[in-house]
Structure 1
Amino acid sequence: MADCEPDAQRFMDLTVPEYAYMFGFLQADGHLAQGVGRKGRLTVEINAKDVGLLRRFQQLTPYYSSITERTRATNFSEAHRSAVWTLCSLDARTALNDLGLPYGSKSRTVAPPTVAFARRDYLRGVVDADGSVGRTGKGFPFVSLTTASTAVAAYLCFYAGKVTGSERTLKRNARDDVYNVLYTKENAQLLAADLYYDGCLSLERKQAAADALSTWIRPAGMRVAPARRRWTADEDRVLLRLDDDAAAAAELGRTEKSCCIRRWRLRTGRTPMPASVSPSRK
């Protein structure tokens, strides 16, 4: 882990990996409450087994904060033990709020920072708080994230696409109205190795789970799904110019079905028109 001493001038400098991770975790699992006047507080409550992470947050913060533990009944346990980190400093809360941690309800509105930030560390914080790393019931590696934020889900897909070469289509699930972003097998191995690098700040149990994914080897005979071919702006222009699925399929080396679906998405606005196509062509 990089040496990061708490300093008021450096606090929440998101180019520092530890602070980028911490901010991602707080966006997903923290709660910023505003009181009367200058009063208010930031709280994070996690399983007491993970209290070591809160102690690290406390060490990274150059303002007074406290950690307490409590036992309460939950849907999963009659005596669930949790640890709560509480930070009341107005300066600290203002810094976090300015970076994009809103007061009150935040699940849909949080988004990746607009300032420079350590990308994989930020995403690891989000995954540690609201995601999962491990193996499926069949033993396949997986990395997943459940979030209500379109911006966060889209950013994970963008970043993971660069790491794995795999695309994801965002769609809220019907039951909970949230996004469930999932990577499995080799894609999960690549993403986990990138996010959970040696010496990074993370939940110890998820670091261990990520490290264990590297031992998986695809069984002999298991088919590898071909990578999806992305549509380019030039292909979109050809598709719209020809306005004929069969002709476009022959020229672009695609199927008529894929051309039909792509043309429908362009015409209905579900996919943006390429830059050189005027609105009148829609």
Structure 2
Amino acid sequence: MTELIVCLTESQKGELVNRAASGESLASLAGCYGITRQAVRGILRRRGVPPRVVGKLSEAQRSEVVQRYLDGSSIANIAAAFGVSEPAVRGLLVRRNVLLRKVVHTLRHDAFDYLNPDACYWIGFIFADGSVGYRPGYLPQVSVGLAERDRGHLVALREFLGSTASISGPSITHGSCQFSVRSARLADRLIELGRYQGGVDERLVESRDFWRGVVDGDGSIGIYQTARGPFAQFRLVGSSRILEPFTEFVLLRGLSRLSVRPHKTIYTVGTTRGGAERIIRLLYEDATLALHRKAEMAARILDGRFRSE
């Protein structure tokens, strides 16, 4: 079974960490990725994430959990603050005879049915930075975890989905904010469009909005200084089944062919200077939806300011 641990890509490990942080059990994660529970625990430990530390709060912390809930904090925010799972917090409250607030969340279950530009973007972003999880006895879950600095992007995703679900505060263990919704229709649609296996839907492959979402999640754009002056750089990492369609997308739009190259357990494509600027222009020029910090960097590159800074 040890060999299977090595076969998990960095993207899959990131998904595993996000799903564990959302409260999914070791057994469920092990079954989903075809590895042992010990392997899951090892991945979480190396990423600094405790695997569902149920029952490991001190008595003072348990009392604080109860008080925070009574003061109006959500279970999700409390779980993130104490580095435990939401089921652990909910179980503690039940054992302390705390009356749980009834929460009814709204959600657009059909948000990905019609592939308009915004839907394509968010599908691309979830393909790169999100996960889809299935657990027996539960509705499928779509989750995204981002660093605290990008929390506003989770707010934008929540608004697109018409959701009232909470976004957790930054975890004390790995600093990421988590947003999750449960919907069989959304989860099945993402799988159908090619999230994990098979070919990526051709309508997505042809969409610059989809690829901008992928790049916002798993890509990098930047400016690098050399002895001959600054230059733009573009890079995208992921599985070959995602990167190969991307190279075809840019080639069909008159850009040079990019080479998909193996890099440790994943693959990468990239280019610099004029090639990078053309890809950035193709994806980001006049875009109305993008990760704020990458949109700012794209604007800086496209207006040429960096050459005189």
- Give secondary structure in 1 for the equivalent of 2:247: helix
Match of 2:274 among 178, 186, 190: 186
Tell me how large the CA RMSD over aligned residues is. Answer: 2.7
Partner of 2:259, secondary structure, is: coil
Please say which of residues 115-124 and 27-36 is displaced more in the overlay.
Answer: 115-124
| 1:126 maps to 2:211 | no
- Partners of 2:240 and 2:205 in 1: how far apart? 19
- In structure 2, what is the Cα distance between the partners aligned to 1:18 and 1:151? 23
Greater fraction helix: 2
**Structure with larger Rg:** 1
Q: TM-score, normalised by structure 1?
A: 0.63
1:30–1:43 CA contact under 8 A, matched in 2: yes
The alignment partner of 1:209 has SS state of helix
Q: Do the aligned residues in 2 keep the contact of 1:164 with 1:191 (CA within 8 Å)?
A: no
Match in the other structure for 2:233: 142
Residues 190 and 35 (structure 1), Cα distance of their counterparts in 2 relative to 1, 3 Å cut: same
Q: Does structure 2 retain, via aligned residues, the 8 Å contact 1:68–1:83?
A: yes
From the superposition, tell whether residues 100 and 65 of structure 1 become closer, same or farther in structure 2 (CA, over 3 Å).
Answer: farther
Q: Secondary structure at the match of 1:101?
A: coil
How does 1:12-27 map onto structure 2 within 5 Å? 12-13=112-113, 15-27=115-127
Asked if structure 1 preserves the Cα contact closer than 8 Å seen for 2:223 and 2:306, the reply is no
8 Å Cα contact 1:63-1:92 kept in structure 2? no
Task: Indicate how the Cα distance of structure 1 residues 164 and 189 shifts in structure 2: closer, same or farther if over 3 A, else same.
Answer: farther
Task: Tell me if 1:151 matches 2:241.
Answer: yes
CA distance in structure 2 between the aligned counterparts of 1:181 and 1:91, rounded to whole angstroms: 32
Q: Distance in 2 between matches of 1:167 and 1:35?
A: 41
TM-superposed CA distance for 1:213, in Å, is 1.0
2:223–2:231 Cα contact (<8 Å) kept: yes
Letter of the 2:200 counterpart:
P
Query: What SS class does the counterpart of residue 28 from structure 1 fall into?
Result: helix
Deviation at 1:10, TM superposition (A): 5.1
Matches of 1:117 and 1:172, distance apart in 2 = 21
Residue in 2 that maps onto 1:233 = none
Q: Structure 1 188/34 Cα, relative in aligned 2: closer, same or farther at 3 Å?
A: same
User: Residue 168 of structure 1 aligns with which residue?
Assistant: 258
Q: How many residues align?
A: 199
Q: Which amino acid aligns with 2:182?
A: C
Matched, 1:59 2:159: yes
Q: TM-score w.r.t. structure 2 length? A: 0.58
- In the alignment, the residues of structure 1 paired with residue 125 and residue 209 of structure 2 have an alpha-carbon distance, to the nearest angstrom, of 10
Distance 1:70 1:7 in 2: 23
1:58-77 CA distance string (max 9 Å, x none): 11114553311123345xxx
- For 1:110 and 1:205, how far apart are their aligned partners in 2? 32
Secondary structure of the corresponding residue to residue 142 of structure 2? strand
Instruction: Mark the runs of 5 or more structure 1 residues left unpaired by the alignment.
Output: 1-5, 75-80, 103-108, 220-282
Gap change, CA 1:217 and 1:199, over 3 Å in 2: closer
CA distance change for structure 1 residues 137 and 13 in 2, over 3 Å: closer, same or farther?
farther
